[in-house]
Amino acid sequence: MKRALLAPESELNVPETLPEPWPGNPVTIDGTQTFVRRTPSRGEAAEPALYVHGLGGSANNWIDLAHFMADRWDGEAIDLPGFGLSDPGRRYTIAALANRVIRYLEWSDRGPVHLVGNSLGGSVSVRVAGLRPDLVRTLTLVSPAMPFLDPRRSAQGRFAPFVLLPYAHRLAARHMSTMSVDDMFAMVVKACFADPEGLPEQRRIDARKEIELRYSVPHYPAAYVGCLRGLVTSFLRAYLPGAGSLWRIAKRITAPTLVIGGSHDQLVDTRVPAQVAKVIPDSRLLMLDDAGHVAQIERPQIVARAILGMLDDQRSPAITPK
């Protein structure tokens, strides 16, 4: 594990106004539609990248970071099954979600990509990179939801026993029906951001639209509970013998990897990013004192600089840490 290097701020193309959500369209793979948003590259030599969102999120979680990376990357962001504008999935295990990402990468035939995952998308990306190294150039993990067994370390910990119930999704739907969009929005923002008041107004509007979408999609409660159940199950399995452990899979990753964590993360144990960086052979770590669970939204510039630092480090080791 190495300390992450930050590229100079001058490498960033900072927009005068915040970018709008990137356009996209559904693609049909194995009879199921997956919605993909695309961020056009600004460089002729841009390399392919794929962004994978976290639990309850969507491809729109990458609007700003994808803009900052567009000089180097031809970016795509997918909605995982059951989220955003994608069809629901048959299963919501980490293995099933990773298989959807793998199938999309095979279908798109873009060659190995720079893979970026946040939270649930981080654990999914670990599995993809560990099992299919031929599909991954570099790996960036933002607050990856890797296994930890202390429920007190997560605001969602108290729901862990609940999601194992057979009809938990029905109870979740009933609970959602008792909450207003405003209440749900306030709860999500409080849990995900270190400084909810510092979130730009446009991003608050975008986040609220995401909440409204959840209320309009009948399959959302089942997708959310199913993915949370998949995470809980993967956490328990990680400490048992067998090749399915996410920690064992992480040890197999060969791609250069950047791990980013926020010291105010309320959803993933703040000790996890360092543990992940120690396990993955070629890794570098960046902990942000002023970020929560979604640093790519809260601090997109410094996340972009860290990614650029990793990319530049692959070309030349002469960057000076800051």
Instruction: Write the DSSP string, 291-308.
Output: --S-HHHHSHHHHHHHHH
> Quick check: 35 and 24 in contact, CB under 8 A?
yes
Q: What is the pLDDT of residue 320?
A: 45
Distance of CA 93 to the CA centre of its chain: 16
Q: What is the pLDDT of residue 309?
A: 97
- Reported residue count of the chain is 322
Q: What is the pLDDT of residue 85?
A: 97
For residue 320, being part of any structural domain is answered with no
Residue 88 structure tokens? 């629901």
Boundaries of domain holding 44: 2-315
Q: What is the pLDDT of residue 42?
A: 93
The domain tally of the chain equals 1
Rounded-to-integer distance, Cα 126 and Cα 145, Å: 10
For residue 321, being part of any structural domain is answered with no
What is the CB neighbour count within 10 angstroms for residue 128? 28
Q: What is the pLDDT of residue 153?
A: 67
Output the furthest CA–CA distance in the chain (Å, rounded).
56
Strand order in the sheet with 2-3: 2-3, 283-288, 257-262, 136-142, 113-118, 47-52, 73-78, 32-39, 24-29
Rounded-to-integer distance, Cα 224 and Cα 209, Å: 17
> Quick check: 45 and 51 in contact, CB under 8 A?
no
> Quick check: 94 and 234 in contact, CB under 8 A?
yes
For residue 39, being part of any structural domain is answered with yes
Dihedral sign of CA atoms 75, 48, 3, 238 in order: positive
Tokens 């000076």 map to which residue?
320
Question: CATH number, domain at 69?
Answer: 3.40.50.1820
pTM above 0.75, yes or no: yes
Residue 197 structure tokens? 């008041």
pLDDT in tens, the chain (322 residues): 999 999 999 999 999 999 999 999 999 999 999 999 999 999 889 999 999 999 999 999 999 999 999 999 999 999 999 999 999 999 999 999 999 999 999 999 998 999 999 999 999 999 999 999 999 999 999 999 998 866 666 666 666 666 565 656 667 677 777 889 999 999 999 999 999 999 999 999 999 999 999 899 999 989 998 898 888 889 888 888 888 899 999 999 999 999 999 999 999 999 999 999 999 999 999 999 999 999 999 999 999 999 999 999 987 654 444 4
Closest alpha carbon to 192 in 268, 299, 293: 293
Rounded-to-integer distance, Cα 250 and Cα 14, Å: 34
**Phi and psi dihedrals of 310, rounded to 5?**
-65, -45
Q: What is the pLDDT of residue 244?
A: 87
For residue 220, being part of any structural domain is answered with yes
Q: What is the pLDDT of residue 319?
A: 44
For residue 99, being part of any structural domain is answered with yes
For residue 239, being part of any structural domain is answered with yes
SS3 state of residue 73: strand
For residue 322, being part of any structural domain is answered with no
